[in-house]
Amino acid sequence: MKFALKVWRQHDANAAGSFVDYEIDGITADMSFLEMIDALNEKLLLKGEDPITFEHDCREGICGSCGFLINGLAHGGQKATTVCQLAMRFFKDGDTIVLEPWRAAAFPIVRDLMVDRSAFDRIIQSGGYISVPTGGAPEASAILVGKDKADVAFDAAACIGCGACVAACPNTSAMLFTAAKMTHLNSLPQGQPQRDARTLGMITTMEQEGFGNCTNHGECEMVCPKEIPLEFIGKMNRDLIRAAMNGQTEANVRVDANGKMVD
C-alpha cells in the first residue's frame, strides 16, 4: 500500500509549525499506524532528514502515551482504539492522511506530534488519590464493596490519560478525564472521607490548568479508547452539588508563592 501523508512539523512550543508532505510506499495491511510512521522515519533518517517526533511506548493501548489526530479524528476514530493499535487495514491504498497533534492551551506542543500533558498529573495532585500512608491499611476483606459499585469504579478507572477527550472536545474541556478519575475514587467506600474536597479540588484545578468548559457535545466519549461514558460527567456534577450541600469550601488547589489561588 502507498500513502500520502501531511504531517504537522513544529520544532518546539514557541516555533511556528506547518504541514509537510511525505509519501510512503510498501505498507502492508497488518502494520500498525505507528509502524507505518516507523518505516517513514527510517527512510527520513537515511535521507538525512529529521524523523517525525511522536510519543509512544507500550503499543498495546494501555500506557496512554500515543495519540494525535488522524484525518481530523483523535486516535483515528476507530471504536475503542489508540493510534498504536490502529491497523493500516482501515485505510485505503493511495489515501492522503493528515496528522495533527492534540491542540489545547493546556497541552503545549513539545515537538511535532508530541504534546505536554502534565496538566493531567496536576489535576490528580489536587485530590485524585486516597491518602493511605504505606503500612496503615486495614485488612483487605474488612472493606466490602458491592459488585455494582466495584464495576462502576473499574469502568472509570480504565482511563489511560491519553488526552483524546480534550483533543476531540470543541470546548477543549478535560471533564471526561477528570470525571473518570473522580468517579473511580468517589464510588468506593475507601474514597468517601476525601470525597467532597477531592471533587472541589480537581474541578478547580481543571480550570486553573486552562481547560475549557463542557457543553455536552459528546465528542469525548466517541474517541475515548477506553469507552469512558459521558454519564460520569453527570456523576461528577452531582458530586459537586453534594460537596456544596455538605458545606465544602476547602480543597487542594494551585497557589502562588504568596499562597494566593492562581486563576
Partner 1 sequence: MQNSQSQGVSVRRISVASNPIIAFWQTVVGKKIVMAVTGLVLIGFVIGHVAGNLKIFIGPEAINAYSRFLREVGQPELEYEQVLWIVRSVLLACVALHVTAAVQLSKLSLGARPVDYKEKKNLATNMSAMTMRIGGLFLFGYIVFHVLHLTLGKVGYDPGEFHHLSVYQNVVNAFHHQPIAIFYIIAMGALFLHLDHGIWSMLQTLGFSNRKNQATLKGIGRLIAFLIFAGFISVPVAVMTGVIH
Partner 2 sequence: MLETNIPSGPIEQKWENCRSHMMLVNPANRRKHKVIVVGSGLAGAAAAATLGQQGYPVHNFTFHDSPRRAHSIAAQGGINAAKNYRNDGDSIFRLFYDTVKGGDFRAREANVYRLAEISVNIIDQCVAQGVPFAREYGGLLDTRSFGGVQVQRTFYARGQTGQQLLLGAYQALEEQIAAGTVTMHTRCEMLDVVMVDGQARGIITRDLRTGAVQAHTADVVILATGGYGNVFYLSTNAMNSNTTAIWRAHKRGAFFGNPCFTQIHPTCIPRSSEHQSKLTLMSESLRNDGRVWVPKKKGETRKANQIPEDERDYFLERRYPSFGNLVPRDVASRAAKEVCDEGYGIGPNGTPGGLGVYLDFGAAIKRLGLEAIKERYGNLFEIYERITGEDAYKEPMRIYPAVHYTMGGLWVDYNLMTTIPGLFAGGEANFSDHGANRLGASALMQGLADGYFVLPATVPNYIASNKFKPVSETDAEFVQALEENKKWLQSLFDIKGERTPDSFHKQLGDIMWEYCGMARNAEGLTKAIKEIKDLKAEFWKNLKLIGKGEELNQSLEKANRIADFLELGILMCTDALERGESCGGHFRTESQTAEGEAMRNDEQFAYVSAWQWQGPDQPEKLFKDPLTFEHVHLTQRSYK
**Which residues, 134 to 153, sit near partner 2 by CB under 8 A?**
134-141, 143-147, 150, 153
Query: Any contact of residue 34 with partner 2 (CB under 8 A)?
Result: yes
Query: Any contact of residue 98 with partner 2 (CB under 8 A)?
Result: no
By beta-carbon proximity to partner 2, the closer residue of 171 and 252 is 252
Query: Any contact of residue 206 with partner 1 (CB under 8 A)?
Result: yes
Q: Which does 94 bind (CB under 5 to 8 A by kind): partner 2, partner 1, none?
A: none
By beta-carbon proximity to partner 1, the closer residue of 85 and 173 is 173
Q: How are beta strands 96-100 and 114-115 bridged, if at all?
A: unpaired
Angle at 61 between CA 55 and CA 237, to 5 degrees: 95
Is 28 strand, coil or helix? coil
The C-alpha atoms of residue 102 and residue 104 are separated, in whole angstroms, by 7
Task: Provide, rounded to whole angstroms, the least separation between the CB of residue 233 and partner 1.
Answer: 7
By beta-carbon proximity to partner 2, the closer residue of 145 and 244 is 145
Query: DSSP assignment of 63-76, as one string?
Result: S-----EETTEEGG
- Closest to 226 in 3D by CA, of 91, 62, 116, 25: 62
Query: Any contact of residue 214 with partner 1 (CB under 8 A)?
Result: yes
Query: Any contact of residue 58 with partner 1 (CB under 8 A)?
Result: no
By beta-carbon proximity to partner 1, the closer residue of 47 and 260 is 260
The angle, 0 to 180 degrees and rounded to 10, between the axes of the packed helices 118-125 and 175-186 is: 30
By beta-carbon proximity to partner 2, the closer residue of 63 and 98 is 63
The cell numbers describing 36, all together, are 507505518
Radius of gyration of the chain (CA): 21
Q: How far is CA 235 from the centre of its chain?
A: 19
Site string for partner 2, 200-239 (x = CB under 8 A): ----------------------------------------
Give, as ranges, the residues between 105 and 124 that touch partner 1 (CB under 8 A): 105-106, 118-119, 122
Query: Any contact of residue 216 with partner 1 (CB under 8 A)?
Result: yes
Task: Provide, rounded to whole angstroms, the least separation between the CB of residue 203 and partner 1.
Answer: 5
Query: Any contact of residue 167 with partner 2 (CB under 8 A)?
Result: no
The C-alpha atoms of residue 201 and residue 128 are separated, in whole angstroms, by 9
Task: Provide, rounded to whole angstroms, the least separation between the CB of residue 201 and partner 2.
Answer: 10
Q: Which of 23, 93, 121, 250 binds partner 2 (CB under 8 A)?
A: 121
Q: Which of 9, 11, 59, 217 binds partner 1 (CB under 8 A)?
A: 217
Quickly count: other Cβ atoms within 10 Å of residue 197's Cβ.
18
The cell numbers describing 125, all together, are 495532585
The C-alpha atoms of residue 64 and residue 67 are separated, in whole angstroms, by 8
